[in-house]
Structure 1
Amino acid sequence: MPAGRDDDALTWDGDDDPTLDVGAAETTEAVNQTGAAAPLPEGWSAVGKGSKTLDSPEGEDVEAPVDPRGSLESDAQGPAPREPMGNVELISLGVLGGFSVLYAVGWLIGGLRLQDAAQFLVASVAYQVSLWLAILAPIVWFGSVYLLTTGSKKWVRFLWLIGGVLFLIPWPFIMVGAIGR
């Protein structure tokens, strides 16, 4: 039986490497005999809790910000990075975007079917302009809501998108299109 360790079967070669010993090093955190933080070697940078004291001159205690979005340091660097979209949000945006595309197709089909009846009411040019505005309205609504609500809460974005789905229903398609005939 080897001398010195009871559990020698549970070790690997190189376990005695001092860089792997994290138990005792975390409590001292590079503090020298005077109590001040030891300077880092050239090319190294401190990260994590307590890293501000290592970067400051003479080991001064500098307050690290608790909330990175509310600190002055993050304001100087620009806006904080956004969290990525979750699966539910991504699928919901895809479904609502699909509604926008289908609504645009519905406005096109319904509008083209009303074209003959509309020449008695409005000029041809006015009808074409209003037809293309109606076709583009659902797509423009989706794009503008998506871009303008990037900094707001998710429920606000989805409220506006669902409002657009309800507001921009292609009534000519429903009344005269495939359903109305």
Structure 2
Amino acid sequence: MSSDPDDDAPSWEGDAALDARRPAPHPSEQRATRPAPAPQGGDAAPSRDDQADVRDDESQGIGTATLVMLGILGGVYLLYTVGWVIGGVGMQAKAMFMLPAPLYLASMWIAALAPALWFVATLILTRGGRDWVRISALVVGAALLVPWPFVVAGGGGAL
């Protein structure tokens, strides 16, 4: 079945007013509904240039190397979240003389959620961009969000 509303019903006189109010289709929908180039010279198959043009118009998706890098960096961010929780719990007894317990716990959980939030925000904000921009933003986040309480104190005795 076709998803094009023009194929669902016959057209009638006066439909031009309705077409003027209809929103323009998304560019990806325009490419999908574009007719294939007509073969020249009878029943000959489309040339390689015509096939390459149609292939170039379609989105290529995510590459294998990018997918592997996203998986590796996603694992790093997951380990960072665990490191912030373990390091924060290990430092809790030492930090109680400086901060009240609710304030310390709130800041610890914000720090623990920061790697996950960075990862999700990077994926959302770089959705239409190039792969190297997305990977660069994730690498910068991995350098900035190192769980220092866990790294320096080895978990602060919480292990």
The TM-score normalised by the length of structure 1 is 0.56
The 2-side partners of 1:81 and 1:134 are apart by 41
How do 1:28-39 and structure 2 match up within 5 A? Answer: none
1:120 to 79, 92, 97: 97
**CA-to-partner distance for each residue in 1:121-175, whole Å, 9 max, x for gaps?**
1111110000000110000000000011011111111111000000000000011
Secondary structure of 1:122's aligned partner: coil
Equivalent residue for 1:49, pick from 14, 32, 37: 37
Of 85, 90, 93, 2:70 maps to 93
The answer (yes or no) to whether the contact 2:87–2:156 under 8 Å persists in 1 is no
Q: Deviations over 1:85-113 (max 9, x none)?
A: 11111110000000000000000110000
User: Which has more radius of gyration?
Assistant: 1
User: Gaps (5+ residues) in structure 1?
Assistant: 1-44, 52-66, 69-79
Instruction: Name the CA distance, whole Å, in 2 between partners of 1:154 and 1:111.
Output: 33
2:64 maps to a residue whose letter is N
Aligned residue pairs: how many? 112
How well do the aligned residues superpose, as a CA RMSD in angstroms? 2.8
Write the distance in 1 (CA, Å) between the matches of 2:71 and 2:88. Answer: 25
**Which aligned pairs between 1:1-181 and structure 2 lie closer than 5 A?**
47-50=35-38, 82-178=59-155
Tell whether the 8 Å contact from 2:83 to 2:155 is kept in structure 1 after alignment. no
Aligned residue identity for 2:139: I
Partner amino acid, structure 2, of 1:174? V
The one-letter amino acid of 2:88's match is G
Question: Cα distance 1:46–1:96, how it changes in 2: closer, same or farther (>3 A)?
Answer: closer
Contact 1:109/1:177 (<8 A) preserved:
no
Percent identity, aligned pairs only, is 39
Q: In the aligned structure 1, how far is the partner of 2:119 from the partner of 2:36?
A: 41
Note if contact 2:149-2:155 (Cα within 8 Å) is conserved in structure 1: no
Higher RCO, 1 or 2 (CA under 8 Å, sep at least 6)? 2
Detail structure 1 runs of 4+ shifted over 3 Å in the superposition. Answer: 178-181
- SS of the aligned residue for 2:137 comes to helix
Offset at residue 177 of structure 1 (A): 1.9
Contact 2:90/2:156 (CA < 8 Å) preserved in 1?
no
Cα gap change, 1:81 to 1:172, in 2 (>3 Å): farther
Q: Which has the higher helix share?
A: 2
Aligned to 1:35: none
